[in-house]
Amino acid sequence: MNLRVCRIRPLLATLFLLSAAFAAAEEPTPWWLAQPIRGVWVANVGSESLDSVEDAQRTVATCKAAGINTLFVVTWNRGYTLYPSEVMRREFGVTIDPRLEGRDPLAELIEAAHAEGLRVVAWFEFGFSCSYQKPDGGPLLKKHPEWAALDRQGRLVSRNGFQWMNAFDPAVQEFLLEMLKEAVQNYDLDGVQGDDRLPALPNTAGYDPLTVSLYQAEHGGADPPTNAYDRDWTQWRADRLSRFVERSYSELKQLDPDLCVSWAPSVYPWSLQNYLQDWPRWLREGWGDLFCPQVYRKTPQRYAETLKPIAASQVAPADRVKVAPGVLMSLADGYQLPTEDLAAMLRANREAGFEGEVFFYYDGLKQHAELFQELYTK
């Protein structure tokens, strides 16, 4: 080999390494990691935040003034979408919540928020729940009774007033995933989010014929345990929901690699034991970009106690940047967290290594305006 070739090869290798380094340096940081999340859930129950175009604009203005940078807006609630949905029209003949005919609240909020530099995440609040305080499951189960989640007595699963579809049924999973994809394809969204109902299912579910047959096929024909809290039975069902998380994350990111796929589950291990949500696994496996566990507690002491194991054992230090705890600020029944308690909870977040948070819900912002301006805008 001549001397010239010997000199050129190291040079080419150096140029290749420099090119790769520059390419890596130019790769933009995803928005959910570029700055701490200052988020708020925007609901349509107990709130006027989405009642009109003007209300959506006021919502955005209030969030902007408070230093909020991300709006998690309800998109799926009580068996209806808050945007015109072809999936819903095809399956149920109803395009949008009948109270919203002629409007598109999701589009209205996106337009107003993006004009002010705020991001919008479509929050599929109801997830696998089909109705609220409707013993028959409402119009979704009237059309598809085979979608019902059943308990050991063969009754429709209902907990805390919510009725449920069978989250283990491939047809039900496909229905939810189609809606998620539809929103991503039709709107300029910054992200989508499932919560303590997506994916989730009360642990009393899983006794329908389909799920029983799936269990029997993997357990030598044996029936599922009658104890809903049986550890292996719980994990078997949770693993099926985890596979839905994996699939959803993969297919949504294929549609839009820049999309933030977020999950806002209940706190662990309660989430696993009661709603089959094994979300620390989802985080470890990389099946989500942003996690907002609902650390909903009404006193700073209980909040800090609940937050501690999340930081200590459930979330690796390198993954803390992906976690923005959910903070209960107000409720539709008029409950308002005292401002000094809210400030203490935010201090607990920082002490635990979490730089962001998401508040439930928007209508509590006004009471704490001075605190938000002090913490987020100065």
* Interval 117-164: pLDDT, tens: 999 999 999 999 999 999 999 999 999 999 999 999 999 999 999 999
pLDDT for 346 beyond 50: yes
pLDDT value at residue 24: 47
pLDDT in tens, 232-286: 999 999 999 999 999 999 999 999 999 999 999 999 999 999 999 999 999 999 9
Of 108, 110, 125, 113, the C-alpha closest to 180 is: 125
Structural contact between residues 53 and 108, judged by C-beta atoms closer than 8 angstroms: yes
Q: Walk across the sheet containing 162-164 and list its strands.
A: 129-132, 162-164, 158-159
Instruction: Give the Cα-Cα-Cα angle 15, 21, 23 (nearest 5 degrees).
Output: 105
* Residue-level pLDDT at 5: 45
pLDDT at 18: 53
Pairing of strands 191-194, 119-123: parallel
First to last CA, the chain: 65
The Cα-based distances of 61 to 55, 68, 169 in angstroms read 10, 10, 42
What are the pLDDT digits (tens) for 180-214?
A: 999 999 999 999 999 999 999 999 999 999 999 99
Instruction: Pick the range with the lowest mean pLDDT from 19-28, 215-224, 347-356.
Output: 19-28
pLDDT tens, residue by residue, 72-105: 999 999 999 999 999 999 999 999 999 898 999 9
Enter the tokens of residue 31.
């928005």
Residue 9 has pLDDT above 70, yes or no: no
Q: Kindly list the structural domains of the chain, giving each domain's residue range(s) and its CATH number in brackets, ordered by start.
A: 41-294 (3.20.20.80)
3 has a pLDDT exceeding 70:
no
Assessment of whether the complete model's pTM goes beyond 0.85: yes
Helix extents (H) in 228-367? 231-255, 270-275, 279-285, 300-309, 339-351
Q: Is pLDDT above 70 for 25?
A: no
Strand, helix or coil for residue 14: helix
